[in-house]
Amino acid sequence: MAAVGVRELKNRLPHYLRSAKRGEEIIVTERGRPIALLQSIEAAGRAVTRDARLARLAVLGLVTLPSGRRLKRIERVKNRGRSVASAVAEDRR
């Protein structure tokens, strides 16, 4: 599975067409967002790979794809007072 921008697709179209002919699915992106799926005629109408299915769901607005930036490592917070359970119990009273 390959994700390729519009510019790169335009510049290397024969390469990606050969890949699609071999059965690969290529997700075409514009500014990082999927806009098209390039696949062979035999596979038309069905997305085979997980990335292709996710791209289709993103285009339909059903899911949001990750931006590619990973979250920083989360550090544990030390609790120096009473326990969280006792604070919740007190709040419930």
Q: What is the CATH number of the domain that holds 6?
A: 3.40.1620
26 vs 81: CA distance, rounded Å: 54
Decide: 40 and 21 in contact? Cβ < 8 Å. Answer: yes
Whether residue 49 is contained in a domain is answered as yes
- Average pLDDT over every residue of 56-78: 77
* Residue 86 to residues 79, 80, 92, Cα–Cα distance (Å): 12, 13, 10
- Bridge partners (DSSP) of residue 28 are 4, 36
Whether residue 77 is contained in a domain is answered as no
Q: pTM higher than 0.75, yes or no?
A: no
Query: Which structural domain range is residue 19 located in?
Result: 2-59
Whether residue 54 is contained in a domain is answered as yes
| Number of domains comprising the chain | 1
Whether the pLDDT of residue 1 is over 70: the answer is no
Whether residue 83 is contained in a domain is answered as no
- Of 12 and 39, the structure prediction assigns the larger pLDDT to 12
Whether residue 17 is contained in a domain is answered as yes
